Structure 1
């Protein structure tokens, strides 16, 4: 197994782990708290917001950036707790090695005793096929670059846009990529991201979404939630 020497495990302010990438001088999550950021941005402002708008038996999510698997794990917990069937598709061009993911402490923040099993399955499941993590959570991991992957039209209820910051991965925040994402959203679908750049808001508005600037997680003033009409 090849090493990933430019990536090291760090502890964020809420005690949960993240990863620091030296070549990018960037972390996978906010150093103010990895778990609290993911819960605030993706679970509460995305998944919980969408599922509380209208009762539905199932939900489809597309995530840009599987990364550490934290968002997938928290979503698996939500699906379990609410008995909501979730089809979760996540794209990741640079998968992490087990030598890193095996040491992440996210399961300590979940109440479900099955959390370690779920987290292990998330990282050990095969790529590019549907894999059940539990009865209410179906995962499909895509090991491709988003720029090279064709998304189905009007397929997803929620978008977790969790790429590295625009200053680090500018290509993933381009108008063309955002347009591809918007085309893949169902009517009334919700797009959430930790980023609150003015250019992102303008591009999403130009693509026909209603853009809401929401309070950000600890350490960040704002985040973006956008709804497709």
Structure 2
């Protein structure tokens, strides 16, 4: 494996993106960061974790045309719990984690954060699948019925789409934004992990 390998995973709710991240973490032997980003950012900012969770992967609110710098240095005074400022703290945390060594990031627009700050090579993935499989997975994992599964999928994916647009200006899920879009409709998580590893080998990032 490349000495310093960073993978970012954006994912539709119910597509198995989080499970893929865990599988790759185990197979590649590198850290996996999901909720850990929130906890680390809270400690870094000395701001209650509840504020980060309240705005986790949700868009903020701003006036039309309002200028902002979401990857600059966070404010340490004033309205430090504004969503833009919380994003800056998370961005700093993501960069620090990436600088320390190989790792995998789940969501939080980590691909945008690393690209915007000219981080070295990283591999960006987007995981998606058809609605039937998303619903099946959400029903199994969350223990809800079909109607509730559908409602959660629609709500959370809408929030993630708006979060991406608000903080990055990009269209979440646009295949041009990612190194490897992955459709898990007809693949198991282990099979998808193998596909990712094959891609990494072809890129020279993982030994054959």
On whether the aligned pair clears a TM of 0.5, the verdict is: no
Higher relative contact order (CA 8 A, sep 6+): 2
Bigger CA radius of gyration = 2
Higher strand share: 1
TM-score (norm 2): 0.29
Higher helix share: 2
TM-score (norm 1): 0.28
